């Protein structure tokens, strides 16, 4: 049992320290996406936290998504999420991803990313600053550390 516990702790430690991201834009204006990319640039440098941006959902642990989920993007968002191996988590960035933001009420959007896939952390802002996005990532990792988040996403 002690070995089991130690292995679990090691697994948790590795997940907290090596969160690989895959990014998905579900119809946003690009504002949030640019700020997400900016966090990889030298000034904010997410690699310090072990974050790597992956091209394929199969290599990722965390889905970082933006946008109010347009109807066409909805299915692709779902498929991207399904392609990720467990354990997986979701960070929704930007006001659009929470309520539709400035586009609330427009005909082609779903609005809340949480209506499509389970979301672990919402980062509000239009767009949120890179510091806020990093804070969102850190909050996710803190949740992990406190083992509140169950693998699969819902909290």
Partner 1 sequence: MSPEADFLRISESVGPWVSGSRTAGHRLDMDTSAERLVPAVTAFKNLSWGYLSAITGLDSGTVEPSDGHIEVLYHFCRGPAVVTFRVKVPRGDPSVPSIGAPVPPAVLFERELAETMGVRVTGLPDGKRQFLSDDWPENVYPLRKDFTLESAAATGEPAPAVGSGEEPGTFIIPIGPQHPALKEPGHFELTVDGEIVTHASIRLGYVHRGIEKGAEDRSWVHNIYLMERICGICSHIHATAYVLGVESLAGVAAPPRAQAVRTVFCEMERIHSHLLWLGVAAHEAGFDTLFMYSWRDRETIMDLLEELSGNRVNYSVNLLGGVKYDVDTKAADSVRRGLDFLERRTKHYMKIVTSDESFLRRTRGVGAITYDQANLLGTVGPTARASGVSRDLRHEAPYLAYRDFPIRPVLDSRCDLAARFVVRINELFESYRMVREILDRMPAGELAVPAPRKVQEGEVISRVEAPRGELFYYLRSTGGVKPDRVKVRTPSLCNWAAVLSVAVGHKLADIPMILVGIDPCFSCNDRSITLRRRGSRSLENWSWEDLRAYGISYYAGGAT
Partner 2 sequence: MSVVLALVALVIFPGGLFVIFGSLAYEYVDRKLVARFQNRVGPRWFQPLADLVKLLVKEEIVPAGVNRGLFNGLPLVALAASLTAALYVPMAGLAPAWGFRGDLVVTVYLMMMMTLCLGLAGANTQDRFSLIGSTRALTQLFSYEAPFLLALLGPSIAAGTWRISEVNGYAREHLWMIVTQPLGFLVALIGLMGKLELPPFDAPEAETEIVSGALTEYSGRGLAFFRLGRDVELLVGLTLISAFYLGGLANPVHFILKTLGLLFVTAGLQSLFARLRIDQTVGLWWRAGAVLALVQLLVLIVLKILGVRL
Q: Which residues bind partner 1 (CB under 8 A)?
A: 23-25, 27-35, 37-38, 41-43, 55-56, 67-68, 70-74, 76, 80, 101-103, 105-109, 126-127, 129
Stretch 96-135: interaction string toward partner 2, x if CB under 8 A:
----------------------------------------
Q: How many CB atoms lie within 10 A of CB 77?
A: 23
Shortest Å distance, C-beta 23 to partner 2: 11
Angle between helices 130-145 and 2-17 (to 10 degrees): 180
- Looking at residue 98, what DSSP letter applies? H
107 close to 77: Cβ distance less than 8 angstroms: no
Distance of CA 155 to the CA centre of its chain: 14
- Rounded Cα distance, 84 and 61, in Å: 7
**Segment 37 to 66, residues that bind partner 2, using CB under 8 A:** 40, 42, 45, 47-48, 50, 52-56, 58-59, 61
Given partner 2, partner 1, none, residue 13, with its beta carbon under 5 to 8 Å by kind, binds partner 2
């Amino acid at each position: 049992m002690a070995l089991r516990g130690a292995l679990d702790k090691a697994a948790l430690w590795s997940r907290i320290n090596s969160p690989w991201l895959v990014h998905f834009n579900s119809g946003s204006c690009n504002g949030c996406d640019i700020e997400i990319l900016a966090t990889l640039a030298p000034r904010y440098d997410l690699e310090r936290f072990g974050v790597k941006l992956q091209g394929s959902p199969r290599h990722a642990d965390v889905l970082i998504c933006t946008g109010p989920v347009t109807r066409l993007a909805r299915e692709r968002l779902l498929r991207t999420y399904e392609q990720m191996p467990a354990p997986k988590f979701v960070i929704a960035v930007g006001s659009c991803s929470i309520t539709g933001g400035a586009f609330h009420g427009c005909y082609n959007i779903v609005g809340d990313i949480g209506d499509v896939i389970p979301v672990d952390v919402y980062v509000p802002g239009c767009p949120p600053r890179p510091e806020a996005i990093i804070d969102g990532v850190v909050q996710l990792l803190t949740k992990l550390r406190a083992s509140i988040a169950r693998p699969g996403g819902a909290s």
